[in-house]
Every structure is written in structure tokens, then in C-alpha cells.
Structure 1
């Protein structure tokens, strides 16, 4: 699914430290599926405490709702650990994040400004157009087996 390529100009290859770190991140990452009204898209979770805590909740059925014409949000059943997470992030299109002050999942379909309390959980692999559809809809999120 993920493709590893050597960093051009760094003399990178399988033995290059940057490439090795990329391999380790990919081996420790987890893919999830998000099913919405018969359409399934995938995302890759980060290798972080918050993302592992989120994965422990799966499978999960949620209602995704529009928020600020920028993201889809849904309440989570419990707060996630933010241990080791930065104070905030500047979310990009396709980012899955946890907004700690509200305890909700956020899936960004537009870039947004730096937000304190926002923790990146992962990134959509596909399906951003589905997140841009207006309105609320039911979603089921599951771990994908390797």
C-alpha cells in the first residue's frame, strides 16, 4: 500500500537512516476503513499514543457532521490519550485528528489554521470528496487486517 522511495540527492537507499525510519513508521502504522453509505475509503493512522488509543475503540459507529465548512466531526465515546503529542497542529486536507478540548474526531476536507489541542491521528488515503458532501451521515470505522 505505502511505497518507499529513496530520498533523491541524499544518497538514500535501504540503508539510509531516513529510509530506515520510513520503513519503521510504515511497519508500525495501521490502516483503517471508513464506510459511509455503502462507500468505503481508507486511512492510515500515525504511530502515536493518541492514534493507538483511537484504534483501541474500533470498530466504531459514528455520525459525521459538518463543522465550519472545513471538517466533519463526531463525538468519541471516551477521551483519547494525548501523551507525547504536540500542543497543536496545522491540519491539512485529509488529516484525521482528535480535538482534545471537545473530545471529538475531526476529518479535514480543507486546510485550516494552527489549532491548539488538535492532535493528528492519521491521513485519508482516498475519499476526500466524500468528506466534502454536505450534511450528516453515519460512518463505521474499522481496522484493516494486513
Structure 2
């Protein structure tokens, strides 16, 4: 009888010790992922605001995770502004064919490009997104370097 009582007490004691030593569960909320099919970010170009509709891809997600950014973007060939990013992003380069005004593309993994002219191209880029309001984009970007702030205020 004493042996059975001792065995029962040991089993109950082991249960309590195991429960007390169990690691607490992490009840923090998981990091919220950006819903890329609906995501837009705000760009401020020379103090004028534009909306950038992001692509639904790994590159756009990685780009959004860099924000906010404040980039001095240089002109190239009188049709685009470009700046080097602080780190390389995943790529899925494709021949775009026809570049449209307002396209925001990634060049060679670490350079973001805003196009303010439409033209045909044989170059390969990865899509990041498209600026929605393009009517005054060329004038706002201006000549020379443009200061572009990326990210929701």
C-alpha cells in the first residue's frame, strides 16, 4: 500500500514539475505582412505627393520593407530618375518591352528607377510598381536630381 501511495505521489509531483518548467508560449502577434495586391505607398517628389501601386511580388515586398527612404534620384537619358538602394533586393528580371510613364522598376537588383517617359526597351527589369498619377510626373521630377521620399507618412 505504501509503495502504491508513494508511486502515485511521485507521478503527481512529476506532473507539477513538468508543468512548472514548461516554456511559456509566445503570445505576441505575428508581424503583419503587407497585402501586396492592395498595397500602395506614398511618394513625395519635390514636395508633391504621388501614390505608388505596388506589384504583388517578392521584390515589391522587400522594397516596402526598406521604407521609409529619402533618395536623391539622378536623371538618365531624359526619361528616367534612378538611385541606388541601401541593399540589394530579390530579382525576377524580365524584358519589359514597352516601358510606361510612371513605371517603377528595379535595375540589376539594387537600383530603383522611376520612368517619366514611355518608350520601347530591350533591357531587363524587375517590376516594383506603378505611379498612379502621371499627368504632371515629368514636370515634378524636373531636370537634374530629384529628391524622392518613399513611404507612408
The answer, yes or no, to whether TM exceeds 0.5 is yes
Look up the match of 2:52. Answer: 43
Q: Does 1:94 align with 2:67?
A: no
For residues 39 and 152 of structure 2, the distance between their equivalents in structure 1, rounded to whole angstroms, comes to: 7
Q: In the superposition, relative to structure 1, how do residues 42 and 79 fare at CA in structure 2: closer, same or farther (>3 Å)? A: same
Look up the match of 2:121. Answer: 114
Shift of 1:94: 0.9
Look up the match of 2:38. Answer: 29
Q: In the superposition, relative to structure 1, how do residues 28 and 68 fare at CA in structure 2: closer, same or farther (>3 Å)? A: same
Look up the match of 1:126. Answer: 133
* Secondary structure class of the residue paired with 1:117: strand
Q: Does 1:105 align with 2:119?
A: no
CA contact (8 A) 2:45 2:141 kept: no
Shift of 1:55: 0.6
Higher helix share: 2
CA contact (8 A) 2:46 2:141 kept: no
TM-score in terms of structure 1 length = 0.70
Runs of at least 4 residues off by over 4 Å: none
**Which runs of no fewer than 5 residues in structure 2 stay unpaired?**
1-34
Shift of 1:104: 0.6
**Which runs of no fewer than 5 residues in structure 1 stay unpaired?**
1-25
For residues 34 and 41 of structure 1, the distance between their equivalents in structure 2, rounded to whole angstroms, comes to: 5
TM-score in terms of structure 2 length = 0.67
Residue range with higher mean Cα deviation, 130-139 or 92-101: 130-139
* Secondary structure class of the residue paired with 1:53: helix
CA contact (8 A) 1:71 1:131 kept: no
Aligned partner (choices 67, 89, 92) of residue 76 of structure 2: 67
- CA deviation profile, 1:18-38 (whole Å, cap 9, x unmatched): xxxxxxxx9723111111232
